[in-house]
Amino acid sequence: MPTLVQSLKKHDLGHLRILAQIWGVELSAGERKRARDELSEKLLNGALLAELIEALPVDAAQALNALLQNGGRIPWGKFERQFGKIREVGAGRRDREEIYLAPVSATETLFYRALLARAFFDHPNGAQEFAYLPDDLLGIIQGEGKATTPAKALGRLARPDECAHIIPATDHLLDDITTLLAALRLGWDEPPFGLETSLRFTRDLLPAARLMIDGGELQTDSIKTFLETERNETLNQLIRIWRESEIINTLHQIPTLICEGAWVNPVLDTRKALLSFIENIPKNKWWSLRSVIADIKKEYPDFQRTAGDYDAWFIRRADDGVRLRGFEHWDQVEGALIRYFIVGPLYWLGLVDLASTREEGEETAFRVREKLVESKEKDSEKINLNSSGQIISSRFVARTARYQISRFCNWEKSNNPDEYRYQITPSSLERAREQGLKISHLLGLLRKFAAGDIPPSLSRALQRWEANGTEARVETMSILRLSKPEDLEMLRKSKAGRFLGEVLGPTAVMVQAGASSKIMAALIEMGIFMKDETDK
C-alpha cells in the first residue's frame, strides 16, 4: 500500500496545514511538496500516533480497528457504507466553515487525521477502489502492539431450542449422482423421482468431476471409476473437486433466485471467503445459523462483491420476478447465498450437521463436523429379488450394481430414502435391448448381487423373453351381447360386420376399439337399440 507521503500527494497546502493542526505539530514549509515531506516526517512518530489514536472517538476507533483487522485496507464502498461518508466540499468552504473540526462520520474523522486514504488497487476482478491506512503508519501501529487479534468466530452458540431437532449429515450425494447418471444413460433429462440432495447441485458436479463433458456426453471410463471407488474416498474426492471448481456457481444454484445477463461473479473467491468464515467456527458445537448471517452482513457484507457494487448484477426473485438491486436486498441475495451454502453443499458433502426447532421446520443451527460421515463399505449389502421381477436395493449395495441393474427396469417410487425399488417389465427389457444390453448381462448381475438365488420362474421368463419376446399381453376390448343368435348372424352380414372380432358364443362377439357408434347405427337399422355400458 502507499506510504504516508505518497498518500498526501493529492492534498493542497491548506489540507496539510489542517492535518498539522489536528496532530499538534508545527509546519514551517510554505510550498506544498516541502510541506508534505516535512509533515510526513513529523507524523511518523510512534508516541504521537499513539496519543492521537487514544483520543479518537469510539466510532472512529472502531473504523480504524476494522482497517487493522483487514490488513490495512477495505473496499471503499463497504467502508463508506459501514462508517459513513466524507463530505465533498471545495477548499474554500472547508477552510471557511472549518468542517474538519466537526466531522459527520468516522470516515471523515480518520480522513482529517491522515489515518485514512483512498486509492485504486489491483484485484483479480480488475482495479477496485479501497479505503486504506498508509503503509508506514500501519507498520508503526502494529509495532506498538496495537494490531488486532486473529479473526474470531462469527455468530454465536445456538440456543437449545434452535437445535432441538437434529438432522445428521449423510453421504446420500453419492447415491444421487449414481441415480442421475443411470437416468441420463437411459436418455432421461432427470430421474423420475426427486433426489435427496439437489438436482441442480448434483448435475453441476458431473462436469466438475469429469463424469460428463460440456456437451452432455457421459464419460464411461470416469463413471466406472466413480462407481467402483470406496464411498469415503469418493466423498473426499468430491469435496476437493467442489472446493477447487470454478464451474460450480453456487449463486446460480439458489432456488429462490434467477440470475440473468452476462455479468460474472467471482465463484472461487466467494467460496473461499465463505469457507474461511466457517473454518473459524468451533467444531462439534451447535452454532446459530441466523447469527452467522447477521455477523457476516455486519463485518464482511461485500464478501462476494469486492467492489461493493450492488447494482451491476441482474438478479430476480424467483417467485414474483422482482429485481433484487441495491444493498437493501442483501438479505435476499447474500443472506440467501450463505444459508444455501451451509444447508446445501456443506450438508450434502457431509461437512456439517443441521438442526431445527421442530421436525420439518426450517434449519436454524448447524454443527461443523470434525470427521466426515463414515459409510458402509461397498458390497456390504445385497439386493432383494422376488419371483415377480421386483427388485429392492439398499443404497449401500455396490453403486455399480444399482447403476447397471436400474437400466433393465422400470423405476418405482420408494418412501424410504435408503432404498430403491425397480420392476422388470417387457418394456424395460426392450429399452435395455435397444441400448445393446443383454439378458445374460442382467442374469449375471442378479447372480452376483442378489441376496439369494434367482427364482427359477423369473430366470425362465427372462430367457423365454430373450428368445421369443413378449408372449402374453393384456388388451382392453368391448363385447357385444345380443338376445338372439339370428340377430348376431344378421349383424355379421351387414356393412358393420367388418368391425366385429372374435365370436365368443351364439349371442356374444368382440367389437373393435372405437367402433361402438358404427355398431349402434347398424343395429338401429335392424330395429334394435343398443346400450353402451362403456359410455359413462
pLDDT tens digits for range 100-156: 999 999 999 999 999 999 998 876 566 788 999 998 898 888 775 433 333 578 999
Specify the pLDDT at position 16: 93
Closest CA to 110 of 118, 122, 121, 119: 118
**pTM greater than the 0.75 cutoff:** no
Specify the pLDDT at position 7: 92
Q: In angstroms, rounded to a whole number, what is the distance separating the alpha carbons of residues 478 and 532?
A: 10
Q: In angstroms, rounded to a whole number, what is the distance separating the alpha carbons of residues 53 and 22?
A: 12
Specify the pLDDT at position 29: 86
b/e sequence 209-232, b meaning 16+ C-beta within 10 Å: bebbeeeeeebeeebeebbebebb
Position 165 pLDDT exceeds 70 = yes
Specify the pLDDT at position 530: 81
Q: In angstroms, rounded to a whole number, what is the distance separating the alpha carbons of residues 86 and 15?
A: 14
Query: How does residue 372 score in pLDDT terms, banded at 50, 70 and 90?
Result: confident
Beta strands in 357-506 (DSSP E): 363-368, 384-385, 390-394, 410-412, 419-423, 478-481, 500-505
Specify the pLDDT at position 146: 39
Q: In angstroms, rounded to a whole number, what is the distance separating the alpha carbons of residues 252 and 258?
A: 7
Specify the pLDDT at position 144: 53
Specify the pLDDT at position 148: 35
Share above pLDDT 90 across residues of the chain, in percent, rounded to a whole number: 60
Q: What angle do CA 173, 165, 239 make, to 5 degrees?
A: 25
Query: How does residue 267 score in pLDDT terms, banded at 50, 70 and 90?
Result: very high
Closest CA to 310 of 300, 299, 301, 319: 301
Q: In angstroms, rounded to a whole number, what is the distance separating the alpha carbons of residues 453 and 359?
A: 41
Specify the pLDDT at position 224: 96
In this structure, which long-range contacts are made by residues 266-273, counting pairs with CB atoms below 8 Å and at least 24 apart in sequence? Answer: 266/124, 266/125, 266/304, 266/306, 268/244, 269/124, 269/125, 269/304, 269/306, 270/303, 270/304, 270/337, 271/243, 271/341, 273/300, 273/303, 273/304
Tell me what the mean pLDDT of segment 357-366 comes to: 93
